[in-house]
Amino acid sequence: MSDRLCQKMHMRIFINVLCCTLCFGLLNLPARAGDALLTKDDLVQVQPGIWAAMGLKLPEANPGLPIVGANNTQNGAKLLRVVSGQNTINGFRGVLYDNRDRGHSLLEPELYPSLTHIKYSSDLVANKLDFGLAGQIFFPAVVFGNSSTAMKGGPAPRSLPRLAMTNAPWDSISSALYANNHIYVYPEHRDHDAEDRFPANWPYMIISQGSSGSDRLFLNAIAMTLAALPQDTFEFLREQRLVAPTVQMILRRNLKTVSTRADYLSGLAHPSAFDGRLIRVGRMVEMASKLRPEDIPPLVQLRVIEGDFAEAAGLANLNERLIDTPSAIGRLWRDFAWERELVVSAEDTSAPNDQPLTFEWRLLNGDPQRVTIKPQGIDRRIARIRIAWHDPWTAPIPQSKKPAERRYSRVDIGVFASNGVHDSAPAMISIDFPEHQVRQYEIGPYGEKRLHSIDYNASGRDAYFDPLLFWSAGWTDTARYHKNGTLTGWDRQHSDDVSVDFVPAEPESQTPRYEIDRSNAPVPILRYTGE
């Protein structure tokens, strides 16, 4: 069994144990307001490096504090004041706010006086448990928060969301947060500007378009949405651990670009990063205030049951299986094939209110001429998906102040469960292509599409790629085929000379022919070690 598979099995066990632990801790959760000080003594370790804050003491509630501050002029504030006067909404009972950038981009306390803010003791701050990506500490409450930070230095700078997507076990931790009523906002910081650099799209967090401070609009939207939920709806969502996916659904359903169900089931509602100018907070508050327990859609859970993305593929024999979590599946295209296949099941999805479900499988990003999705069965719980190779492409940026395009190299497929009232938040299937490679495909002797050549020399062309996932090599390979159509090897032309060498596709021994040299960071270089 591979180390990564063992790690994922351990993480699934951890998630199950954590869910039970947090639910037990919530049984007698009182209404509170103010600040909650978290110390080391409040933490119970549930896995190496991960704790549950079971000893956290919440301050006594002050019924005289308003839900919305007197000087709060944020969009949606007037409507929230109106619905709060009906005495049926939950307000901020059982909700915590977690700022993880030490006040750099803070949801100001006076905006929502009855909202409890988490404060970290000095020993936790010294160990940076209050900073950056959330997930080392799980709280016995509904939590929303933010960290307006990024990795700006080092050989592989990136936003916090891309850090989570490219570093195990943060994919599983992010999934566990989502399944335990925790939702965080992080800026995309240069990962979603002229180019979408995320290797996957997922619903586990909200990614704001922009850098520091771009998350604040979303914090206000989340705060008002949570506060506007009716008390019985909030309790149902908390018990069923559906707070985070429901917030995601409400946000995406009420963007300015989304007016119809067809819009919601398209890429308009599900970008990698969200432009804060598109939020319609008033509509989010209205939808939340009318949401009934019996109408809540489920958390879609996916599982790959067949597929030809391998644990070792391409010249470097690297893993193509980037993410395998219940609501997000990510694959990296390293193989030489023109077309790949996945069979994915949503059979593990269950309705929280015993309503019958039907499923929608929709292409959100990619070429519809190169992606085929064939749902199976009456309720469409399984789909066979075929994806052909995609060269990078550009598309207009919605609602941009001036005409602008963004470059993409990733296919996204959304899976939605409908209970007849609402469509769920999406679960995502993403296939990321090595956009720094220049590939040419041709028609083979039997009419099949097959690889003709690959230019690997990204460094020579100054083409960007993620050094944690891909590499550059100083040559171009032209495929050589046997007359029966099988690949026999490569005619390899190096960038520094005109000579062409033949390199067999299969080594005669088990000795690896290639190794990745990371000594010249930030660009990893593939070296040929064969005879």
Query: What pairing do the DSSP bridges indicate for beta strands 427-432 and 328-332?
Result: parallel
Residue pair 340/328 in contact (Cβ under 8 Å)? The answer is no
Q: How far apart are CA 380 and CA 386, in angstroms?
A: 16
Q: Residue 353: which of 296, 400, 268 has the closest Cα?
A: 296
The sheet that has 182-187: what strands, in order across it? 35-38, 116-120, 95-99, 142-146, 182-187, 206-208
Q: How far apart are CA 7 and CA 3, in angstroms?
A: 6
Q: Spell 263-294 as b/e; 16+ CB within 10 A means b.
A: ebbbbbbbbbbbbbebbbbbbbbbbbbebebe
Residue pair 387/370 in contact (Cβ under 8 Å)? The answer is yes
Confidence band of 401 (pLDDT split at 50, 70, 90): confident
Q: How far apart are CA 300 and CA 408, in angstroms?
A: 26
Cis peptide before 467 (omega within 30 of 0): no
- Residues 34-67 have pLDDT tens digits of 799 999 999 999 999 999 999 998 877 777 899 9
Which pair of structure tokens corresponds to residue 197? 């650099």
Cα 206 to its chain centre, rounded Å, is 8
C-alpha torsion sign, points 209, 212, 215, 220: negative
- Residues 128-170 have pLDDT tens digits of 999 999 999 999 999 999 999 999 999 999 999 999 999 999 9
Range with lowest mean pLDDT among 30-34, 135-139, 235-239, 273-277: 30-34
Residue 30 scores a pLDDT above 90: no
Could you tell me what percent of the chain has a pLDDT over 70? 93
Q: Spell 128-164 as b/e; 16+ CB within 10 A means b.
A: ebbbbbbbbbbbbbbbbbbbbbbeeeeebebbbbbbb
Provide the whole-model pTM. Answer: 0.93
Confidence band of 33 (pLDDT split at 50, 70, 90): low
- Residues 323-370 have pLDDT tens digits of 999 999 999 999 999 999 999 999 999 999 989 999 999 999 999 999
- Residues 198-222 have pLDDT tens digits of 999 999 999 999 999 999 999 999 9
Q: What is the largest CA-CA distance in the chain?
A: 83
Q: How far apart are CA 174 and CA 312, in angstroms?
A: 25
Residue 20 scores a pLDDT above 80: no
Q: How far apart are CA 493 and CA 495, in angstroms?
A: 7
Which pair of structure tokens corresponds to residue 296? 């809540």
The residue count for the chain? 531
Residue 27 scores a pLDDT above 80: no
How does DSSP classify residue 263? H
For Cα atoms 153, 154, 160, give the angle at the middle one, nearest 5 degrees. 65
Q: Torsion angle, CA of 361/367/368/371, rounded to 10 degrees?
A: -60
Residue pair 116/92 in contact (Cβ under 8 Å)? The answer is yes
For the segment 174-185, the average pLDDT, to the nearest whole number, is 98
For the segment 449-462, the average pLDDT, to the nearest whole number, is 97
Q: Where are the beta strands (DSSP E) in 134-221?
A: 137-138, 142-146, 150-151, 158-159, 182-187, 206-208
Residue 440 scores a pLDDT above 60: yes
Domains and CATH numbers, the chain: 3-295 (no CATH), 303-432 (2.60.40), 438-528 (no CATH)
For the segment 506-527, the average pLDDT, to the nearest whole number, is 87
Cα 426 to its chain centre, rounded Å, is 11
Residue 398 scores a pLDDT above 50: yes
Report the chain's mean pLDDT, rounded to a whole number. Answer: 92
Residue pair 118/36 in contact (Cβ under 8 Å)? The answer is yes
pLDDT score recorded for residue 63? 77
Higher pLDDT, 355 or 400: 355
For the segment 424-449, the average pLDDT, to the nearest whole number, is 97
Confidence band of 5 (pLDDT split at 50, 70, 90): very low
